[in-house]
Amino acid sequence: MSDRPNWLVGALAILLALTLLAPVFGWAAGAVGYAEPLENAAEQTGAVDSAEAVSIALLADYSVAGLGSAAGTFVSAVVGTALTLVVALGIGRLLGTAPNAE
Amino acid sequence: MHIPDGYVDITIAVVFAALSVAVLSFAARRVGRTVPESRAPLLGVVAAGIFAAQMLNWPIPGGTSAHFVGGAFAAILLGPHLGALCVATVVTIQALVFGDGGLVVLGANVFNMAIVEVYVGYGIYRLVAPYGEFRAAFAAGWLGITAGALTAGLQLGLSSAFEYQLLTTLSIMGVGHLVLGLIEGAITAMVYRYLADARPDLRPTAETEVSLS
């Protein structure tokens, strides 16, 4: 228990480093042309036009309205990483403290 | 690997959503009995790390690109049940906030990445672990993501948007991720080895298994 902050600080530093890398990788992937097997399959079968965007997504495609591509990717990475951390921590606490029903 | 809305027929989406709910509620019940409270911070950090790592698209010359999915990684580090809940959290946030993967197909995406990749990856890890943990983590990441890609190919190939071209979708998804999965395996194995060296106490098996080294 006493060493928890110790590894958490290191872990948070790694998370921050990953979010800083996100715009770099985004640029590099864009430079070679981003396509996953899923997209190739959609193109080959003519399914591409069937795709629908998620209308409630606030940061659709990991971008922020009014911000450039790199800045938007970075903000998305920070928001998403922090949100995931908080939600997963909450789930962990809920499960950890739940009374053993069975 | 994240299927958008419109690609998968509604009946397929509903079937896989129901399967996902069933497996995740089973996972939550198992976890509630077996996981000490002290693993909550680890769950949070691993989920956040997987989210951040998934944003890193590794460019591959020739016009393709892949990102780490992390299902097998979560399974090895957290155990399969907590690992499934971990990746399901990531996939849900990606769909709701970033529109990465659709809402109607959320259950199908959770099934592929948070259930198939996690449980298949964990099973392979356990099978190969006697022959070396590094190898086991590599095989788990590699074949886990390939298995997830195959179930995605199945869902797509049974849908009208893909004109029911099941063989095409299965082969493109399966072969594509069998190749790209080598990166998944490599990252899974290297990050796992780093963590196992740096923090052996974080390993889920640390309390129950005696290491020879």
ipTM of the complex: 0.90
Residue type, B168: T
Average pLDDT of chain A is: 86
Count the Cβ atoms, other than its own, within 10 Å of residue B197.
8
Asked if pLDDT for residue A100 goes beyond 60, the answer is no
For chain A, the three-class secondary structure string (H helix, E strand, C coil) is CCCHHHHHHHHHHHHHHHHHHHHHHHHHHHHHCCCCHHHHHHHHHCCHHHCECCCCCCCHHHCCCCCCHHHHHHHHHHHHHHHHHHHHHHHHHHHHHCCCCC
Whether residues A38 and B37 touch (CB distance < 8 A) is answered with: no
The pTM for the full model equals: 0.92
User: In this predicted model, what pLDDT tens digit does every residue of A20-51 receive, in sequence order?
Assistant: 999 998 888 777 777 889 999 999 999 999 99
User: In this predicted model, what pLDDT tens digit does every residue of B76-115 receive, in sequence order?
Assistant: 999 999 999 999 999 999 999 999 999 999 999 999 999 9
Please check whether residue A32 touches B, CB under 8 A. Answer: yes
Please check whether residue A98 touches B, CB under 8 A. Answer: yes
Close Cβ partners of A76 (under 8 Å, ≥ 6 residues apart):
A22, A59, A62, A63, A64, B55, B98
pLDDT of residue A31: 79
Q: Taking the domains of chain A in order of start, what are their residue ranges?
A: 4-48+56-97
Residues of chain B contacting A44 with CB distance shorter than 8 Å:
165, 168, 172
- Comparing CB atoms, the residue among A46, A57, A92 nearest residue B44 is A92
Percent over 90 (pLDDT), chain A: 60
CA distance A46 to chain B (A): 7
Contact A94, A32 (CB under 8 A): no
For the record, the structure tokens of B127 come out as 């099978």
**Domains of chain B: residue spans and CATH:** 10-202 (1.10.1760.20)
Percent over 90 (pLDDT), chain B: 77
CA distance A79 to chain B (A): 10
Whether residues B38 and A4 touch (CB distance < 8 A) is answered with: yes
